[in-house]
């Protein structure tokens, strides 16, 4: 088997144990004689998959009973529109913290619907830190405050509590969920595209406090965009992304088998610390993020020229390390070290970084 270490920001590398389990069951799931990809989403077998996936997530994330778990399509990006459409009327104000590319895009989409305002931003500093915000910065009539918990492009994350007063708090935790402990009770809603830490692309997991959900939303909102309707139909108003939900279940169970989210965070912190320590003591690699705001799942770094960066990427590929090029919005380099990336992968990356530095 010619496996490489895949440092992609998503879709990301998954554990071999999970892939092998999926391989074993791809032709015949649980003795049904058919694949998850072929069976009816209304069948008892798939209904059990859906239930087990929800139950596992509820256990490992310690999700209280007054929160619903949904599996929706359209990725996290669709939530950028669904959120304001469900929680704000056309003239209402909603608040956003701009900490990176996807935080900015989520506010941009909300502006299509209502009065979406940015209450804090680190854009002028190249998104090198998490912007500070106080409850007094948030309009008292705001229907919610939205944050992007981990910024995949720029390598920053919220490592401290968010002061938001009595305003409902909504967070996109796509690139850190299951890899870092997140207390669900601190939020009124959490959502995450699965393709980073939770499974393959195709499903977005939404964890939402029941009391936040409204039935009487604007009639112009498509039925598919109604959280109330999705809850009523148990994420199956239409045919759900069955395979992606099944894979999320396998990933969640794998995390549980490793000791749970806190155990995964400990491993992820070890991986990140190894990489940051080397970068900080290097003469050719540099991380530009405020140290207190560094992400443990997306490590960004730069070199002195594009030519040097290209040569480094070439050496990485020759050594079985792929997808280390930074996002086009930020440039440079990025190592996404989600749950599926073993410590050995980070050790190999550092080894190659050292080799390149010795020869420069």
Which of these, 133, 140, 207, 135, lies nearest to 170 by C-alpha position? Answer: 207
Q: Is 223 helix (H, G, I), strand (E, B) or coil?
A: helix
pLDDT score, position 1: 66
CATH, residue 263: 3.90.1150.10
Whether residue 3 is contained in a domain is answered as no
Which of these, 81, 64, 202, lies nearest to 146 by C-alpha position? Answer: 81
Q: Are residues 73 and 193 in the same domain?
A: yes
Low-confidence stretches of the chain (pLDDT beneath 50): none
Q: Which of residues 257, 289, 313 is at a domain's end?
A: 257
Residues 134 and 161: beta-carbon distance below 8 Å: no
Q: How far is CA 224 from the centre of its chain?
A: 22
Q: Are residues 293 and 205 in the same domain?
A: no
Q: Are residues 215 and 252 in the same domain?
A: yes
Q: Are residues 103 and 120 in the same domain?
A: yes
**Whole-prediction pTM:** 0.96
The dihedral region occupied by 178, where left means phi > 0, alpha psi between -120 and 50, and beta the remainder, is: left
Q: Are residues 312 and 169 in the same domain?
A: no
pLDDT score, position 351: 98
Q: What does each C-alpha distance from 360 to 187, 318, 354, 356 come to in angstroms?
A: 48, 17, 10, 6
Give pLDDT tens digits for 104-155: 999 999 999 999 999 999 999 999 999 999 899 999 999 999 999 999 999 9
Q: How far is CA 199 from the centre of its chain?
A: 11
pLDDT score, position 89: 95
Q: What are the start-end ranges of the E strands in the chain?
A: 5-6, 67-72, 93-98, 115-121, 145-148, 150-151, 156-157, 169-172, 189-193, 204-209, 298-301, 321-322, 333-336
Q: Are residues 163 and 280 in the same domain?
A: no
Q: Are residues 60 and 203 in the same domain?
A: yes
Owning domain of residue 350: 259-358
pLDDT score, position 290: 96
End-to-end CA distance of the chain: 33
CB atoms within 10 A of CB 310: 11
CATH, residue 205: 3.40.640.10
Which of these, 95, 171, 103, 105, lies nearest to 134 by C-alpha position? Answer: 95
Sheet holding 204-209, edge to edge: 67-72, 204-209, 189-193, 169-172, 145-148, 93-98, 115-121
Give pLDDT tens digits for 301-319: 999 999 999 999 999 999 9
| Chain length of the chain | 360
Which of these, 198, 188, 202, lies nearest to 83 by C-alpha position? Answer: 188
pLDDT score, position 205: 98
3-state DSSP of 162-204: CCCCCCCEEEECCCCCCCCCCCHHHCCEEEEECCCCCCCCCCE
Q: Which of residues 257, 286, 307 is at a domain's end?
A: 257
**Residue 11: cis peptide before it, omega within 30 degrees of 0:** yes
Give how many domains the chain has, as a whole number.
2
């Amino acid at each position: 088997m010619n496996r490489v270490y895949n440092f992609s920001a998503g879709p990301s590398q998954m554990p071999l144990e999970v892939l092998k389990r999926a391989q074993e069951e791809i032709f015949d799931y649980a003795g049904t004689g058919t694949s998850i990809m072929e069976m009816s989403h209304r069948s008892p077998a798939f209904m059990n998959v859906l239930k087990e996936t929800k139950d596992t997530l509820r256990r490992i994330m310690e999700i209280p009973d007054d929160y619903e778990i949904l599996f929706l399509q359209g990725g996290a990006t669709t939530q950028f529109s669904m959120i304001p459409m469900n929680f704000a009327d056309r003239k209402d104000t909603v608040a956003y913290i701009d900490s990176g590319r996807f935080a900015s895009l989520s506010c941009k989409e909300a502006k299509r619907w209502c009065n979406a305002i940015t209450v804090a931003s680190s854009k002028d500093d190249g998104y090198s830190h998490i912007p500070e915000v106080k409850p007094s910065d948030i309009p008292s009539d705001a229907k919610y405050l939205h944050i992007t918990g981990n910024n995949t492009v720029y390598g920053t994350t919220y490592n401290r509590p968010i002061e938001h007063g009595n305003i409902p708090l909504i967070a996109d935790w796509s690139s850190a969920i299951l890899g870092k402990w997140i207390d669900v009770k601190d939020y009124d809603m959490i959502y995450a595209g699965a393709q980073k830490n939770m499974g393959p692309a195709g499903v977005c997991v939404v964890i939402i406090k029941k009391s936040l959900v409204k039935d009487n939303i604007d009639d112009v909102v498509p039925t598919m965009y109604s959280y109330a309707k999705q809850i009523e139909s148990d994420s199956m108003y239409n045919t759900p992304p069955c395979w992606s939900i099944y894979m999320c279940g396998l990933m969640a169970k794998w995390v549980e088998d490793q000791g749970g989210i806190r155990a995964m965070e400990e491993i992820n912190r070890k991986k990140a610390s190894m990489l940051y320590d080397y970068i900080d003591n290097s003469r050719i690699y540099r991380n530009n993020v405020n140290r207190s705001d560094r992400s443990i799942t997306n490590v960004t770094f730069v070199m002195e020229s594009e030519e040097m960066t290209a040569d480094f990427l070439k050496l990485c590929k020759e050594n079985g390390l792929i997808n280390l090029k930074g996002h086009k919005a930020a440039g440079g380099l990025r190592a996404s070290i989600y749950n599926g990336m073993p410590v050995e992968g980070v050790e190999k990356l550092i080894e190659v970084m050292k080799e390149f530095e010795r020869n420069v």
